[in-house]
């Protein structure tokens, strides 16, 4: 069994008293897409930044292809960064406004000293075309492009070094619906083309449905549900997941919809109660506190294990 | 809120003490004591005795501590240039002309500036607007002694409308007051214009107009209040400009005020007077900024009610 | 449920127009501002006159060749008249430009040399370093610059280099604040995080990203430091502790001109006008540049 491309073990981040990310476990298998969903403030973006070592974790482990990169220095981190890259949400502020697109996409090659300048220029052309932009765009500036085109440039920059693991932090959230589809398609094509493992952070479940193999749901820094994508959409067990699903916009005005409007406290009050017989594995602790338990079909949910469940 | 004030006051005191030490050291590093500048050199033993009487032979830090102790009691020592009086009494005589002219200058300049700025904001891009901008720029960029020269040339020499200098009768005050008025006028014209423009462009103004309020009501009952806040807070800073300008205005118009004393104290190496004036001016500056900060915090409802995200 | 699949996109091609960098747009905005453009041209003319002073004048600035014509009013032979010591006044004014502008530019350069690195580092590193820099700036803000400059000038007995350094001492904080603000606003931008994610060293980030994006405060800070320095020099020379005679400086000439003003107006008018025009031009130019680089600033 090969090691997952990216794995986070009990990763925790505190800001003073506030715990933004609380003992999160997740693993992205090779060539798979794991979506990390939740509302604003759930800690999903922070988790993504922790995985990239752009923020330092308070505790926990980060493993890239089995290598522990949790605490190594930034200099030692540099070679690993060729494998692990990022695409941000705001395409405008993630590209240096004073640099041409060619320079932006070529910067990774420069930083890592890959190839001669002529070779670097060629690679830039190759990648611009791979993301669907004509090579002559290399002389343009970010402000001359649309949001979708800028995201393509961001993807090219992220992958030009041959990264195999991509952390995408809400890459489609700032885009129009039709453009979202293009970017999602691009990512899928590239995944098929070069083999890409992705941690896809998003609050948009409709995008997640087309792209992800597994969905991890976060609430207030904790993982409350984790399951393969279709199970999440058909058999979600946690009330928060239900709330997220119900909030997805639906085109058909006549479709019957259940709308759940719950505050986080109400959600906390409705933590599912499960009988030990529902589980496929022993719960990790005997306490009556909510904990992540295993259900059938690689489905994990935060629940209270009690003999008195219905 | 009180915490904020206390912190600012403490920081002001600390800054003031540091500044006083620096000034003190600078004074005493000027080569040549107060008795070296005379045409007839004093015999050494007489000089030594005089220095001892004035305490100038003690170590520097001791002199500093003694001095600051005196300052706390409003005792700034005795000026070398007229040992019969004390520095405090000299200052007491001299501050009246300075404050009178300076104060009148502000009283003339500020309201005119506000009116000019408001008119400019209400009639954007008209000739009033251009004049206001020109006046504001001129008043702030042209040094006050040039303005004074210009005033003297135009009104005293060519038109012969007013006397050029002196302190006695109020007629002689006209030109210096105009010279002092330039900076407040320019500052307030600029500020009034920009704050009114900001307020006029805010969405709440459109709402008020949509509700049916007349333009006059909108301006006088609502816009002015919003625009007034920044203008009140820069008022203390006006004194600062007057203090600096007084050096020139008093020199040019032969007014026996603090500015004139400052220049002469430097030329005559009159330590006590110099120290006292510098300390007073620095204190004035510090207190002005402190008042301005506090005023702003008090008047800005956002800060008062404890706004601010996170 | 919205479906999210479309056909594969064809390669997008850019239109065939010239490449437009952000600086190009700043230039366009600047040239649209007539006042600033005029100011820039005026300043350029004055600078050129100062540089080519020997070419446009016939005598040296200190040559007392016209003693018998002292204090003559402007005429065809002497465009600005003659001063009290028999020197051609036009020549004095033009060489005075050299001194005043030279001091202004040099002081601005020094202000930049100190303010730029301090501001960039304070903005980028934040924390203790930033705190210390801000405290120091606060110290400098509390002391009235002119008065302190007077003191420093007496300590150092005036002279051109002393004035340049004094002006730099009081000019660096403006540049520092401008650069610091810009760097701070960019530090949180995602393209910096992206560079960090690529493994760029802090040096690479500062040199390749932060400084090129700080062109605006650098240029504006430099241009605005010039009139400040010139005012300081003029004030000090006016009071007699700046540039010493016989070296011509406009501030000093105004001081002298005051004594003759009532009968010989040319002694006061020309240096006053020269100083006023130059400072005004430099200030308008600086303001215009600032607006051109950052049109989102309020107050226009």
Take residue A245 and report the two structure tokens written for it: 């699903």
Q: Which of C142, C254, C268 is facing B15, going by the closest CB pair?
A: C142
Find the length of chain A: 310
Residues linked to residue A295 through DSSP beta bridges, in sequence order = A299
Interchain contact C28–A (C-beta under 8 A): no
The helix (H) or strand (E) run that includes residue A268 is: helix A264-269
Interchain contact A176–C (C-beta under 8 A): no
Q: Are strands A273-274 and A299-305 parallel, antiparallel or unpaired?
A: parallel
| Chain C, nearest residue to A134 by Cα | C13
**If you ran DSSP here, which 8-state letter would residue B223 be given?**
I
Take residue A148 and report the two structure tokens written for it: 């979708």
Q: What is the pLDDT of residue B202?
A: 79
Which residue matches tokens 């760029």? Answer: C200
C170: left (phi over 0), alpha (psi -120 to 50) or beta: alpha
CA triple C42-C46-C49, angle to 5 deg:
140
% of chain C residues with pLDDT over 90: 9
Q: State in Å, rounded, how far the first CA of chain C is from the last one.
A: 48
Distance between CA atoms of residues C250 and C278, nearest Å: 11
Give the mean model confidence (pLDDT) for residues A191-219: 90
**Residue B180 scores a pLDDT above 50:** yes
Asked if omega into B76 is within 30° of 0 (cis), the reply is no
Tell me the pLDDT tens digit for each residue of A20-30: 999 999 999 99
**Are C165 and C110 contacting, i.e. CB atoms less than 8 angstroms apart?**
yes
Q: Which residue has the higher pLDDT, B287 or C2?
A: B287
**Are A272 and A237 contacting, i.e. CB atoms less than 8 angstroms apart?**
yes
| Residue (of A204, A195, A221, A242) closest to A47 by Cα position | A221
Interchain contact A139–C (C-beta under 8 A): yes
Measured between beta carbons, which residues in chain A are less than 8 angstroms from residue C185?
none
Give the mean model confidence (pLDDT) for residues C212-225: 87
The shortest C-alpha distance from A272 to chain C (Å) reads: 27
Q: What is the pLDDT of residue A151?
A: 93
Q: Which residue has the higher pLDDT, C63 or A193?
A: A193
Count CA within 13 A, CB hemisphere, residue C74: 10
Measured between beta carbons, which residues in chain C are less than 8 angstroms from residue A257?
none
Burial of C34 (0-12, 13-18, 19+ CB in 10 A): exposed
What are the angstrom distances between the C-alpha of B16 and each of A184, B22, C140? 61, 10, 11
The alpha helices in B73-173, defined as continuous H runs, are: 87-122, 127-141, 144-151
| Chain B, nearest residue to C157 by Cα | B30
Tell me the pLDDT tens digit for each residue of A119-141: 999 999 999 999 989 888 888 88
The pLDDT confidence band at residue A255, using thresholds 50, 70 and 90, is: low
Tell me the pLDDT tens digit for each residue of C55-91: 877 777 777 777 777 777 877 777 888 888 878 888 8
The pLDDT confidence band at residue C112, using thresholds 50, 70 and 90, is: very high
**Residue B179 scores a pLDDT above 80:** yes
How is chain A split among helix, strand and coil, in percent rounded to 5?
Answer: 35, 25, 40
C151 and B266 in contact by Cβ < 8 A?
Answer: yes
Distance between CA atoms of residues A202 and C4, nearest Å: 15
Q: Which residue has the higher pLDDT, A85 or B265?
A: A85
Q: Are strands A18-28 and A6-15 parallel, antiparallel or unpaired?
A: antiparallel
Q: What is the pLDDT of residue C5?
A: 45
Q: How many helices (H) and strands (E) does chain B have?
A: 14, 0
Q: What is the pLDDT of residue C117?
A: 86
**Residue B106 scores a pLDDT above 80:** yes
The shortest C-alpha distance from C190 to chain A (Å) reads: 4
**pTM of the entire structure?**
0.74
Which residue matches tokens 């492009």? Answer: A145
**If you ran DSSP here, which 8-state letter would residue A132 be given?**
T
| Residue (of B223, B176, B217, B229) closest to B201 by Cα position | B223
Measured between beta carbons, which residues in chain C are less than 8 angstroms from residue A134?
11-14
**Are A306 and A288 contacting, i.e. CB atoms less than 8 angstroms apart?**
yes
Task: Decide if the complex's ipTM is over 0.90.
Answer: no
3-state SS assignment for residue C86: coil
The pLDDT confidence band at residue C44, using thresholds 50, 70 and 90, is: very high
**Are B195 and B120 contacting, i.e. CB atoms less than 8 angstroms apart?**
no
Distance between CA atoms of residues C219 and B70, nearest Å: 47
Residues linked to residue A198 through DSSP beta bridges, in sequence order = A33, A166
The pLDDT confidence band at residue A85, using thresholds 50, 70 and 90, is: very high
Distance between CA atoms of residues B185 and B111, nearest Å: 8
Give the mean model confidence (pLDDT) for residues C197-205: 88
Tell me the pLDDT tens digit for each residue of C151-170: 777 777 667 888 888 888 88
C171 φ, ψ to 5°? -95, -20
C89 φ, ψ to 5°? -70, -35
3-state SS assignment for residue A276: helix
The helix (H) or strand (E) run that includes residue A26 is: strand A18-28
Q: What is the pLDDT of residue B309?
A: 39
The shortest C-alpha distance from C26 to chain A (Å) reads: 12
Take residue C288 and report the two structure tokens written for it: 């215009």
Q: What is the pLDDT of residue A73?
A: 87
Q: What is the pLDDT of residue A227?
A: 92
CB atoms within 10 A of CB C183: 24
Distance between CA atoms of residues B213 and B220, nearest Å: 11
Distance between CA atoms of residues C226 and C212, nearest Å: 22
Tell me the pLDDT tens digit for each residue of B28-54: 766 555 555 555 566 777 767 766 766
Distance between CA atoms of residues A15 and A110, nearest Å: 35
**Are A88 and A94 contacting, i.e. CB atoms less than 8 angstroms apart?**
yes
**Are C271 and C255 contacting, i.e. CB atoms less than 8 angstroms apart?**
no
Distance between CA atoms of residues C171 and C175, nearest Å: 7
**Are B109 and B181 contacting, i.e. CB atoms less than 8 angstroms apart?**
yes
The pLDDT confidence band at residue C198, using thresholds 50, 70 and 90, is: very high
Q: Which of residues 82-111 of A touch C (CB under 8 A)?
A: 82, 85-86, 88-90, 93-100, 107-108, 111
Interchain contact B/A (3 or more Cβ pairs less than 8 Å): no
Interface test with A, best of C6, C8, C9 (most A CBs within 10 A): C9
The shortest C-alpha distance from C48 to chain B (Å) reads: 22
**Residue A167 scores a pLDDT above 90:** yes
Q: Are strands A33-37 and A214-219 parallel, antiparallel or unpaired?
A: parallel
A161 Cβ contact partners less than 8 Å away, ≥ 6 residues apart: A81, A82, A85, A108, A109, A112, A114
Q: Which of residues 249-288 of B touch C (CB under 8 A)?
A: 251-252, 262-263, 266, 274, 277-278, 281-282, 285-286
Q: How many helices (H) and strands (E) does chain A have?
A: 10, 13
CB atoms within 10 A of CB C232: 29
The pLDDT confidence band at residue A257, using thresholds 50, 70 and 90, is: low
The shortest C-alpha distance from C39 to chain A (Å) reads: 27
Q: What is the pLDDT of residue A157?
A: 94
Average pLDDT, chain B: 76
A101 Cβ contact partners less than 8 Å away, ≥ 6 residues apart: A95, A128, A133, A137, A138, A139, A140, A141, A142, A145, A153
Residues linked to residue A12 through DSSP beta bridges, in sequence order = A59
How is chain B split among helix, strand and coil, in percent rounded to 5?
Answer: 75, 0, 25
**Are C81 and C93 contacting, i.e. CB atoms less than 8 angstroms apart?**
no
Take residue A207 and report the two structure tokens written for it: 């995008």
Measured between beta carbons, which residues in chain C are less than 8 angstroms from residue A253?
none
The alpha helices in B30-86, defined as continuous H runs, are: 44-53, 60-72
Interchain contact A76–C (C-beta under 8 A): no
């Amino acid at each position: 069994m090969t090691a997952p491309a990216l794995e986070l073990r009990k990763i925790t981040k505190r800001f003073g008293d506030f715990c933004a990310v609380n003992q999160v476990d997740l693993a992205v298998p090779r060539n798979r897409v794991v979506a990390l969903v939740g509302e604003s403030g759930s800690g999903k973006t922070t988790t993504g930044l922790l995985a990239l070592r752009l923020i330092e974790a308070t505790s926990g482990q980060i493993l890239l292809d089995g290598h522990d990169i949790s605490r190594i220095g930034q200099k030692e981190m540099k070679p690993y960064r060729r494998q692990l890259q990022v695409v941000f949400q705001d395409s405008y502020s993630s590209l240096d406004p004073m640099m041409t697109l060619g320079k932006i996409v070529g910067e990774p090659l420069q930083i890592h000293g890959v190839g001669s300048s002529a070779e670097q220029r060629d690679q830039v052309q190759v990648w611009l075309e791979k993301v669907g932009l004509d090579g002559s765009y290399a002389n343009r500036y970010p402000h001359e492009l649309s949001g979708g085109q800028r995201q393509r440039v961001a993807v090219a920059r992220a992958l030009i070094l041959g990264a195999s693991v991509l952390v995408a932090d809400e890459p489609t959230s700032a885009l129009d619906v039709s453009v979202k589809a293009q970017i999602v398609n691009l990512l899928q094509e590239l995944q098929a083309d070069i083999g890409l493992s992705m941690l896809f952070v998003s609050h948009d479940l409709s995008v997640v449905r087309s792209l992800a193999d597994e969905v991890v749901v976060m609430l207030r820094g904790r993982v409350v549900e984790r399951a393969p994508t279709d199970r999440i959409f058909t058999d979600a067990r946690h009330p928060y997941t239900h709330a997220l699903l119900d909030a997805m916009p639906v085109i058909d005005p006549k479709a019957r919809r259940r709308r759940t409007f719950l505050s986080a406290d109400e959600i906390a009050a409705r933590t599912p109660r499960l009988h030990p017989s529902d589980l496929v594995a022993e719960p990790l602790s005997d306490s009556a506190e909510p904990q992540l338990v295993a259900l059938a079909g690689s489905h994990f949910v935060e629940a209270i294990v009690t003999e008195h469940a219905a | 809120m009180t915490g904020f004030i206390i912190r600012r006051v403490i920081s002001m005191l600390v800054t003031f003490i540091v500044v006083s030490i620096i000034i003190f050291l600078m004074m005493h590093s000027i080569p040549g004591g107060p008795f070296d500048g005379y045409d007839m050199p004093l015999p050494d033993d007489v000089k030594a005795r005089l220095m001892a009487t004035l305490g100038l032979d003690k170590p520097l830090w001791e002199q500093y501590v003694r001095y600051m102790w005196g300052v706390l009691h409003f005792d700034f020592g005795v000026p070398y240039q007229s040992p019969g009086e004390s520095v405090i009494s000299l200052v007491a005589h001299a501050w009246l002309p300075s404050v009178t002219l300076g104060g009148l200058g502000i009283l003339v300049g500020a309201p005119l500036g506000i009116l000019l700025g408001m008119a400019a904001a209400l009639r954007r891009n008209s000739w009033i607007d251009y004049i206001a901008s020109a006046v504001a720029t001129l008043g702030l960029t042209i040094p006050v002694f040039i303005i004074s020269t210009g005033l003297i040339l135009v009104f005293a020499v060519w038109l012969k409308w007013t006397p050029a200098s002196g302190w006695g009768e109020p007629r002689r005050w006209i030109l210096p007051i105009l010279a002092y008025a330039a900076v407040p006028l320019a500052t307030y014209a600029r500020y009034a214009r920009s704050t009114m423009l900001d307020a006029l462009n805010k969405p709440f103004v459109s709402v008020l107009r949509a509700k049916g309020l007349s333009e006059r009501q909108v301006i006088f009952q609502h816009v002015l209040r919003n625009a007034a806040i920044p203008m009140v807070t820069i008022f203390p800073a006006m004194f600062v400009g007057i203090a600096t300008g007084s050096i020139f205005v008093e020199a040019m118009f032969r007014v026996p005020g603090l500015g004139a004393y400052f220049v002469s104290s430097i030329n005559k190496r009159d330590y006590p007077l110099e120290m006292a004036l510098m300390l007073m001016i620095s204190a004035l500056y510090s207190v002005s900024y402190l008042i301005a900060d506090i005023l702003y915090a008090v008047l800005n409802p956002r800060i008062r009610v404890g706004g601010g995200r996170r | 449920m919205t479906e999210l699949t479309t056909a594969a996109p064809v390669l997008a091609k850019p239109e065939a127009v010239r490449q437009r960098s952000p600086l190009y747009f700043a230039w366009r905005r600047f040239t649209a501002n007539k006042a600033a453009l005029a100011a820039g041209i005026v300043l350029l003319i004055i600078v050129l006159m100062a540089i080519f002073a020997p070419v446009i004048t016939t005598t040296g600035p200190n040559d007392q060749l016209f003693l018998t014509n002292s204090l003559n009013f402007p005429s065809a032979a002497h465009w600005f008249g003659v001063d009290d010591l028999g020197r051609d006044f036009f020549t004095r004014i033009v060489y005075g430009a050299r001194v005043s502008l030279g001091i202004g530019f040099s002081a601005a350069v020094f202000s930049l040399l100190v303010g730029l690195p301090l501001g960039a580092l304070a903005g980028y590193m934040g924390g203790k370093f930033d705190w210390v820099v801000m405290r120091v700036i606060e110290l400098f803000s509390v002391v009235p610059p002119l008065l302190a400059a007077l003191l420093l000038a007496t300590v150092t007995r005036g002279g051109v280099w002393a004035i340049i350094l004094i002006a730099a001492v009081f000019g660096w904080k403006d540049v520092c604040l401008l650069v610091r603000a810009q760097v701070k606003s960019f530090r949180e931008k995602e393209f910096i995080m992206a560079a960090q994610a690529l493994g760029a060293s802090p040096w690479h980030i500062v040199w390749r990203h932060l400084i090129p994006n700080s062109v605006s405060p650098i240029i504006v800070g430099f241009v605005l430091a010039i009139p400040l320095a010139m005012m300081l020099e003029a004030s000090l020379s006016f009071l007699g502790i700046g540039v010493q005679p016989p070296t011509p400086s406009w501030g000093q000439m105004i001081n002298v001109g005051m004594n003759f003003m009532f009968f010989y107006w040319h002694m006061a008018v020309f240096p006053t006008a020269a100083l006023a025009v130059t400072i005004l031009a430099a200030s308008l130019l600086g303001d215009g540049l600032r607006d051109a680089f950052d049109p989102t600033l309020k107050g226009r």
